[in-house]
Structures are given as structure tokens and as C-alpha cells.
Structure 1
Amino acid sequence: MLTIGDKFPSFDLKAVVSTDAKTAFKQVSDKSDAGKWKVVFFWPKDFTFVCPTEIAAFGKINKDFAERDAVVYGVSTDSEFVHLAWRQNHADLKALPFAMLADIKRELSQELGILDKSEGVCLRATFIVDPEGIIRFVSVNDLSVGRNPQEVLRVLDALQTDELCPCNWQKGDEVLKAA
């Protein structure tokens, strides 16, 4: 699995950005949103139970990520058509403010090393990637356990200070000074 300090892989994937079939699809690549921090999170399958709780939670704080010059991308190995159908049919996903990327060939997931060995779907992996494309944070949960988007936001805040941040540090708290 790729980890801290590794270059996030190049990708060019179809994405769903709305529920209107006429304007829903867009290409998103590693060059999209150049110069921004990226939060890229993966989920196992559309039309499941834990996944929409996480996706909706990231959507609710998308504005907070945007205020920090970060863009959020959600990814699974489902197709863009499945993403669209799910968004159109799940109340919590209809107004989702970020792109849902379709890694149907599993190339990005494979290169990151986050495919579940027995199921062949993405683990619940989250990456924070700096504006130079370097992975600065990685978290991976078991298929059955949802993640905490507020914690991802807290870590982004800490990374953007470029300082030493103690345990449970929150934006606005004092940072540590080396003696």
C-alpha cells in the first residue's frame, strides 16, 4: 500500500457531479484542481449501508474543506452510471457537493494497494494529498467500520500548519515548539 511521502498515482476517471443525467458526467484527473490539497476517500460499494453515512458526512463538511483550499473526491469501483443511479435514489446523496469517481478498471485502487483481498472492492481508505501530489495522511478501515470525516478535517488543519501538533490538537490550539 502506498503511504506517507509517496506520490499519489496519476489517474483520469469518469465522475458524477450532479443528479441531472445531461450534466452529471465529468472527467477528473490528478491534474484537476491543480495546486489544491486533495482528500480522496474510497468506499467498497454503492447501494450499501455504511457507505452513504460516510459520503453524506463528507458532503456536510465539504464547505469546511473548500475553505482550506482542499477538494474532496469520493471513489469506488462502481461505474459512473451506478453512481448516478445511487445519487438519484438516495436522499442523502442527491445534493452531494463533490465528485464521485468511477474506478471501474480498479487501476487507481490497485496502484494504491487498497483492494480487499477476498472481496476485490476498495477498503475504506482515506488519503490527504498535498498540492505537490505527495501523500501526507493515510487511514484505512475495515469494510464494516465507517470513518470520521471530522478527524480527516482535523488532520488537514494540522498538516497545513506545517508545525508540530500534539495529540487531539484542534485548529486554533497552540502548536508545540521544539526546545
Structure 2
Amino acid sequence: MSLINSVVKPFSVNAYQQGKFLTVTDEDLKGKWSVIVFYPGDFTFVCPTELEDLAGIYEEFQAIGCEVYGASTDSHFAHKAWHETSEAVGKVQYALLADMTQELSRNFEVLIEDAGQALRGSFVIDPEGKIRTVEVHDNGIGRNATDLLRRVKAAQYIDAHPGEVCPAKWEEGAETLTPSLELVGKI
């Protein structure tokens, strides 16, 4: 069953963000757009490149009212140590969620049970807590933060413009489509 348009299940996890430990819950996602980016583990190889890529455009996510969360099954203590020792991860200003019980990864259907790690899953969540986009990769394939930002903008656009849809490669400001009988067979 698809997670699209399902509401994020209740959760509460420890997190590390900018020198502090905090608790993040499903309630923190409400009232704003959010992105949760699951990754396999701290002190790995592809993961820091993805987190650094997100860190490089984090301000752009914030500018459109979207909060970013990284998540793995590591502890918030490991997140802190990784943040302090990795040049790439040291650039991260968004919260790193510690899914030590693996409940969050399981709820988002990205947990690799026998490994105790998450797949590379990216989820765009609307202000009501509904999952609007899902992208899941094999752990050897890194993601592109710019495309994730584009997908957030597309989700925000169709949310604000019911009846319109965003075609392939849609970018902010580009034309959209309004599905209708007259449009059938004309694309």
C-alpha cells in the first residue's frame, strides 16, 4: 500500500541539531511543510555527501516554509560525534533524528529489518501531516537535494492551485497543466 496521502504516524525521537539535543515528534511537522530524509548510517560514505548537499540549500528550503530532517537508526550521540568530526556533516544545520527503536523507519516503510538500517528514503510532508511525495533508493545510489527542493515546490504549487498539475521537469514559474477533456490527446 502506498504511503502517498497517508498521515504520518505518531512518533517521538531524540535528535541532534546545532550543538543541542532535542526531541522531535510528529506534532513538530504540523503547520509547515517538512522533508524527512532517511539514510543508512552515520560514519558511512554516500550519506555525508547527501547531507552536505541538503545543507548547501537548507536556506532555500526554509525560504519556502519547509523544514528538513535527516534520520537514521543511529543515536543522537553518534549524530553529535559525526557532526563534530566530518567536514561535510559539520555543515548540517537541520535536525538529525535518532531512530534507535527503528519505529520511524518502519512507519515510513524504509527499514531493512535484518540490517537495522534505513534505505535512502525522502518524504515530502504537507502542513496537515500528509505524505505528498515518496522517493526510495537503493543504498548505493545518492540523491539530489535540488530535485527534492523542486518536488517540494511542485507539491506546494498543486496544493495552492487545485485542479492544476505539474508536468515532467516542472520548475517554479513554469507552465502547469489543467487536465480536461479538451486536453486529452493534445500533449
- TM superposition score category, shorter chain reference: over 0.9
Task: Give the Å deviation of 1:177.
Answer: 2.4
Whichever residue aligns with residue 77 of structure 1, its letter is T
Q: Aligned partners of 2:2 and 2:88: how far apart in 1?
A: 31
1:33-44 alignment runs, 5 A limit: 33-44=29-40
Distance 1:125 1:61 in 2: 18
Aligned residues between the structures: 175
Q: What residue in structure 2 maps to residue 171 of structure 1?
A: 172
Larger radius of gyration: 2
Aligned twin of 1:54? 50
Q: Which runs of 5+ in 1 are unaligned?
A: none
Q: Which runs of 4+ in 1 moved over 4 A?
A: none
Q: Give the unaligned 5+ runs of structure 2.
A: 159-163, 181-187
Query: Matches of 2:59 and 2:88 in 1, distance apart?
Result: 16
CA distance in 1, matches of 2:103, 2:113: 15
In structure 1, what is the Cα distance between the partners aligned to 2:117 and 2:89?
A: 21
Q: Tell me by how many angstroms 1:117 deviates.
A: 4.2
Q: RMSD value over aligned CA atoms?
A: 1.3
Q: So what's the TM-score if we normalise by structure 2?
A: 0.89
Identity of aligned residues (%): 40
Q: Matched residue of 1:55: which SS? A: helix
- Distance, in Å, in 1 between the alignment partners of 2:55 and 2:176 is 29
SS in 2 for 1:65: helix
Equivalent residue number for residue 3 of structure 2: 3
